[in-house]
Structure 1
Amino acid sequence: MNQNKGFFKGLAVGIVISFLVYILYTGINIALIPTTDEGFAKKEWYEFMNKANDVIGILDTYYYEDIDYEKMFDGMYYGLVASIGDPYTMYMDAERFQSFITDTEGSYAGIGVSVNQDPDDGILTIMQVFPGAPAESAGLQPSDKIIGVDGTNVVGMDSNEIIKMIKGPEDTEVTLTIARQSEGRNFDSVVTRGIIEVPTIEYEMMDDGIGYIQVISFDAVTDEQFLEALLDLENQGLNGLVIDLRNNPGGILDVALNITDLFIPEGIITYTIDGEGNKEVYETKDNVFFNKPLTVLVNGNSASASEIFTGAIKDYDVGTIIGTTTFGKGLVQKPFILNDQSAVKVTISRYYTPNGDFINGTGIEPHMVVELAEENQYRMSVPYEEDLQLQAAVTQIEGQIE
């Protein structure tokens, strides 16, 4: 027994040393150990290595059961990244990273919601429930907070870990414990997983030639789908357009830029500034842009890429923003893929609206504040006669085309 423990202890320490040396000398991570006076100097780095060896040695020698070293090292990676204290910067193992890619590109087996980690309390919060998805059938709503999965308290857990627990094979069940603040109660909801074809665009022609396009999320195919919808509406005699970004959690920056480019004249769409003060400017690609009456619907769940679009429309004064203040996520993330196909998704910069506004934590105020009735604020589908925000958007356009 002691010989086995000694073997595993040596193996564990060797793995730790190899991992830390890899980090020390790999170009992609060399920025983690700057040698400036203000940075993490090599002396402290080696002290960390020695302490990690000591901790593993103690656990290996004295812990009363066998240790899952793979789980231990995964925990180290998660802990290293989580210690930054940024809810949007996270480590993803290979499986979670693949799931992250799938969420922006294809279909998956799950319950049919988009989620975001609330920066105020760190709890995974439902941003949108996909129409016709199992989550809608189970009665889940935007702003519901997921506090438990199959009896496990998930408050404080990494969001990717929670999502992994929620997803699963088709036709299997998952029990979510939901905190619904609007009703002041917690409850369990049993949802049967299904194959989710992630929707990104829904559109229709309304009366008087007023088009309506709902952008559900900015995924890899959304810009192409959006352009197809816009051209179809134009062929039907479009006089004005309502773009609905309510409950849109964001998505891919380039996709948001491509769509925004259709609506603003030549100039800056957004710009970013990284931790070193380097500025990157994103501009329109040409001077061709939509110039008919435009309204944009937003609410407190319109986040990230949705706010890039909204901020540009507002700053260039090419449309009327209607609804309630947006979510307020003015940070840009980029995934860095490691050799084992795991990844670290890192907040690399702040983004600003064309006028230079940094909206993180504050959001974007609409031109026209319109609230839904309380009983409709958390419903996925609100009839037109009860949708005060959509009615206001249509009225705004009608006033410009008469």
Structure 2
Amino acid sequence: MALWVAFGSFCFPAAALTNEQKLVSQAWRIVNRTYLDDTFNHQNWAQLRQKALKTRLNDSQTAYEAIQNMLKTLDDPFTRFLDPRQYRSLQVNTSGELTGVGLQIALNPETGKLEVVTPIAGSPAEKAGIQPRDRIIKIENTLTENITLDKAASLMRGTIGTAVSLVIERDGTSPKEISIIRDRITLNPVIAKLQKDRDLDIGYIRLTQFNANAPTELARAISELKEKGADSYILDLRNNPGGLLQAGIEVARLWLDSGIVVYTVNRQGIQGNFESFGPALTKDPLAVLVNQGTASASEILAGALQDNKRATLVGEKTFGKGLIQSLFELSDGSGLAVTIAKYETPNHRDINKLGITPDKVISSGEPIKIDRVATSDDVQYQAAVELLQSTVNSEQLAVKS
């Protein structure tokens, strides 16, 4: 006896489903089971499956398009389909190692253009002279107009020793073609140094993303700076787009003796929470730099430190991404990133599309070169230094009295 599977008012024998139909059905089931909004953007989700399976699916590409069309109806830019190459690239990126040119990129929300957030320290891109806010006009023969971040990243990654051509546009200059040789990029997301400023020994730490290496590398940086005599810290989360939720939680725990780090809320409204149990690696004064590029796991960390009164936030309102995605692999090696929950700060602030307002709002002013970050040219950094100086002076007076 044949087993039949019903789709709406249509029935298909299970054995008769093509591989392409099975792939579409698998993607539909994952979203149906896990997606945060159980109204699916106020539409009949089952009817969409029926419509997709009635479409002629001749090959993988048409199946992928059918899945993408289903996901578009959710109106959620963070729930998206990843072809096998994109899925592997995302896994590599979060694992902390890849082969490519070493650029962090973003789409400018106003212009839609592909821009450089920052080159990774020591990467081929940095050595080639690429700077933050450079616009990438073309990658090889592909124009970047309307390109996705995943597509752009996959075009720049490749075999070690191979070349990739980028056409770069910079304010005040004509577009320039640059050939870069790909190399292995170890994604150490931490840049740390001891800086003497206004009688303070400041442990400056810039965290560029939350990959699997972030908690370990940041813990190492704090310990080394303590040994060098740091008496206060500045944690720079500007233009940090986020990454792994667990990495954000573990980094928060490095700074907190106790307290809630973050609440999560799923589609049933059930709340979970992650706590810090200490001890913190340091109790010295801490200022955190944030801006409009501070997003996702960065906002989890900033919110945890602000609500627990562990740090003073300085800079601009953050991006406002309060949604959590999970990755699911499909049967052919492609995958889905699906919004499965939202998060709230320890004070139950829902910051999605709202962002986190710093304790001290300071505009960044004119863009500065990467080598001038955390210097006298960096107005947000200087504001953080002033706050730390005031805090340290107050603590010293309290001890004397």
What CA distance in whole angstroms lies between the structure 2 residues aligned with 1:220 and 1:106?
6
Question: Which letter maps to 1:400?
Answer: T
> 1:167 maps to what in 2?
157
Is structure 2 residue 181 aligned with structure 1 residue 193?
A: yes
1:294 to partner: Cα distance: 1.0
1:223 to partner: Cα distance: 0.6
Q: Alpha carbons of 1:187 and 1:22: their partners in 2 closer, same or farther (altered >3 Å)?
A: same
Map 1:178-257 to 2 at 5 A.
178=168, 183=171, 187-195=175-183, 196-207=185-196, 208-257=200-249
What CA distance in whole angstroms lies between the structure 2 residues aligned with 1:282 and 1:198?
26
Question: Which letter maps to 1:390?
Answer: Y
> 1:392 maps to what in 2?
383
What CA distance in whole angstroms lies between the structure 1 residues aligned with 2:345 and 2:78?
20
CA deviation vs aligned residue, 1:30-71 (integer Å, no higher than 9, x gap): 5399999x7637566445423x13xx5xxx8xxxxxxxx333
User: Normalized against structure 2, the TM-score is what?
Assistant: 0.80
* SS of equivalent to 1:141: coil
Is structure 2 residue 53 aligned with structure 1 residue 49?
A: yes
Map 1:139-150 to 2 at 5 A.
139-150=129-140
1:309 to partner: Cα distance: 1.1
Alignment equivalent of 1:338, drawn from 311, 325, 330: 330
What RMSD, in angstroms, separates the aligned Cα atoms of the two structures?
A: 3.2
What CA distance in whole angstroms lies between the structure 2 residues aligned with 1:187 and 1:156?
18
Aligned sequence identity (%) = 29
* SS of equivalent to 1:219: coil
Alignment equivalent of 1:380, drawn from 347, 363, 370: 370
> 1:8 maps to what in 2?
none
What CA distance in whole angstroms lies between the structure 2 residues aligned with 1:241 and 1:329?
26
Cα contact 1:315–1:353 (8 A) shared by 2: yes
> 2:75 maps to what in 1?
85
What CA distance in whole angstroms lies between the structure 1 residues aligned with 2:39 and 2:190?
49
What CA distance in whole angstroms lies between the structure 2 residues aligned with 1:43 and 1:137?
52
Map 1:238-387 to 2 at 5 A.
238-286=230-278, 288=280, 290-374=282-366, 377-382=367-372, 384-387=375-378
What CA distance in whole angstroms lies between the structure 1 residues aligned with 2:24 and 2:298?
39
Is structure 2 residue 44 aligned with structure 1 residue 40?
A: yes
Cα contact 2:48–2:70 (8 A) shared by 1: no
1:271 to partner: Cα distance: 1.2
> 1:96 maps to what in 2?
86
1:325 to partner: Cα distance: 2.1
1:265 to partner: Cα distance: 4.3
Question: Which letter maps to 2:252?
Answer: T
CA deviation vs aligned residue, 1:100-145 (integer Å, no higher than 9, x gap): 1111223322221123455666654433221232323444333444
What CA distance in whole angstroms lies between the structure 1 residues aligned with 2:172 and 2:343?
35
Question: Which letter maps to 1:264?
Answer: L
Cα contact 2:314–2:358 (8 A) shared by 1: yes
Show structure 1 runs of 5+ residues with no match.
1-11, 61-68
Alignment equivalent of 1:75, drawn from 54, 65, 73: 65
What CA distance in whole angstroms lies between the structure 2 residues aligned with 1:83 and 1:191?
39
Between structures 1 and 2, the one with greater helix share: 1
Show structure 2 runs of 5+ residues with no match.
1-15, 394-401
What CA distance in whole angstroms lies between the structure 1 residues aligned with 2:45 and 2:195?
63
1:202 to partner: Cα distance: 1.7
What CA distance in whole angstroms lies between the structure 1 residues aligned with 2:126 and 2:307?
36
Q: How many residues align?
A: 370
Q: Alpha carbons of 1:47 and 1:271: their partners in 2 closer, same or farther (altered >3 Å)?
A: same
1:344 to partner: Cα distance: 0.5
CA deviation vs aligned residue, 1:284-326 (integer Å, no higher than 9, x gap): 2345463221111122222211111111122222221112222
1:151 to partner: Cα distance: 3.5
